[in-house]
């Protein structure tokens, strides 16, 4: 009897731990132009359908309003409204998607304000701002502090991400391959995308445990891509098989980590990465497939079935 009770407690404890793997879906750079396979309208229809099929009740779409009218001129504003009508929420990703490193704090905030003018009063709007490129100002501490203070003064909260698998690069490589007339192995593309993003979530979960001693709500950064439109339901399914619960963005940003603002030498990356650095945890603090050379090699080998290029040995007579 005692053995059975022990096993029951063990199973209950294990199940509870698994239930703590929680993640919200967010999509950057909306509205994007034509991708590898679809028109922007087709992509939105497929992405909404995929999220619905996957039972994702609420994702967050981070808008770059300056791209409206430049996304092939096809219904950018209408596509944003379609996401909201489907139950999703929208937030600020700047007006023109600049690097904070490239602008003064004042010019950067002027760009943010233009995006806020577009978002103001819109249904589904949330007071979240996500730094383009997750670039919070590099090692310019004065600029980092100035922008953080300016965002707070405007009532904007950091729309951070904790999970990043550079999905934008998979989309870019796919689009380049299609343009070049190469054959895309769709099954391999799906597997690479799903495997990469699930791996990114698991890496963030492990790093968070080391950093905070618990499993916070995670926020995965995706992009409004054709790859997502094709495989978002597959990604959700595999995350659940891996023990993840998909939650809303509202739930995720209610986690106490949302109040953190790590002070590190270079403020560029996911929140958990920055917090791990601030705590002094040893490398690696970032997911290996964010190494673009590695990611490209995996894409070429698995999706295009191309052999990796051989690196020529350096001539000993040359430096």
CA distances from 183 to 35, 45, 168, 179, 252 (A): 16, 25, 20, 10, 39
What's the pLDDT at 243?
98
Distance CA 213, CA 145 (A): 27
Measured in residues, the chain has a length of 319
Contacts (Cβ under 8 Å, ≥6 apart) of 90 = 30, 60, 61, 62, 63, 80, 83, 84, 119, 122, 124, 125, 126
pLDDT band at 310 (very low <50, low <70, confident <90, very high): low
In the predicted model, is pLDDT for residue 46 greater than 90? yes
What's the pLDDT at 265?
93
What's the pLDDT at 72?
56
CATH code of the region 20-302: 3.20.20.370
* Contact criterion met (CB below 8 Å) for 134 and 162: no
Most confident residue range from 72-86, 226-240, 300-314: 226-240
pLDDT band at 309 (very low <50, low <70, confident <90, very high): low
Nearest residue to 285 (alpha-carbon basis) of 293, 297, 277: 277
Distance CA 67, CA 156 (A): 21
Count Cβ neighbours within 10 Å for each residue of 9-32 and write b for 16 or more, e otherwise.
eeeeeeeeeeeebbbbbbbbbbbb
Write the DSSP assignment of 136-171 as a string of letters: EEET-HHHHHHHHHHHHHTT-EE---SEE--HHHHH
Nearest residue to 34 (alpha-carbon basis) of 72, 61, 77: 72
Question: Average pLDDT of 31-60?
Answer: 96
Q: List the single range of 42-51, 250-259, 297-306, 307-316 with lowest mean pLDDT.
A: 307-316
In the predicted model, is pLDDT for residue 13 greater than 90? no
CA distances from 108 to 112, 128, 283 (A): 6, 16, 31
């Amino acid at each position: 009897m005692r053995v059975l009770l022990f096993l029951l407690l063990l199973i209950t404890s294990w199940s509870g731990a698994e239930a703590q793997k929680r993640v919200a879906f967010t999509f950057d750079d909306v509205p994007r132009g034509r991708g590898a396979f679809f028109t922007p309208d087709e992509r939105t229809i497929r992405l909404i359908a995929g999220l619905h099929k996957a039972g994702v009740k609420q994702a967050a779409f981070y808008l770059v309003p300056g791209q409206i009218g430049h996304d092939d001129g096809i219904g950018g504003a209408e596509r944003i409204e379609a996401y909201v009508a489907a139950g999703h929420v929208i937030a600020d990703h700047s007006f023109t998607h600049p690097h904070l490193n490239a602008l003064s704090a004042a010019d950067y905030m002027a760009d943010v304000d233009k995006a806020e003018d577009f978002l103001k009063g819109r249904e589904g709007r949330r007071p979240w701002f996500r730094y383009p490129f997750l670039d919070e100002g590099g090692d310019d501490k004065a600029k980092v502090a100035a922008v953080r203070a300016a965002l707070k003064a405007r009532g904007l909260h950091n729309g951070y991400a904790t999970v990043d698998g550079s999905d934008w690069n998979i989309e870019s490589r796919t689009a380049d391959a299609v343009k070049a007339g190469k054959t895309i192995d769709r099954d391999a593309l799906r597997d690479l995308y799903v495997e990469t993003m699930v791996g990114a979530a698991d890496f963030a979960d492990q790093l968070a445990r080391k950093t905070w001693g618990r499993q916070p709500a995670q926020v995965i950064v995706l992009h409004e891509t054709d790859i997502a439109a094709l495989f978002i339901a597959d990604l959700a399914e595999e995350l659940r098989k891996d023990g993840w619960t998909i939650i809303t963005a509202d739930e995720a940003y209610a986690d106490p980590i949302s109040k953190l603002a790590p002070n590190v030498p270079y403020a560029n990356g996911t929140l958990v990465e920055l917090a791990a650095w601030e705590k002094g945890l040893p490398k690696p603090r970032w997911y290996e497939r964010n190494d673009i050379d590695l990611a490209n090699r995996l894409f070429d080998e698995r999706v295009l079935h191309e052999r990796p290029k051989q690196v020529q040995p350096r001539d000993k007579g040359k430096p």
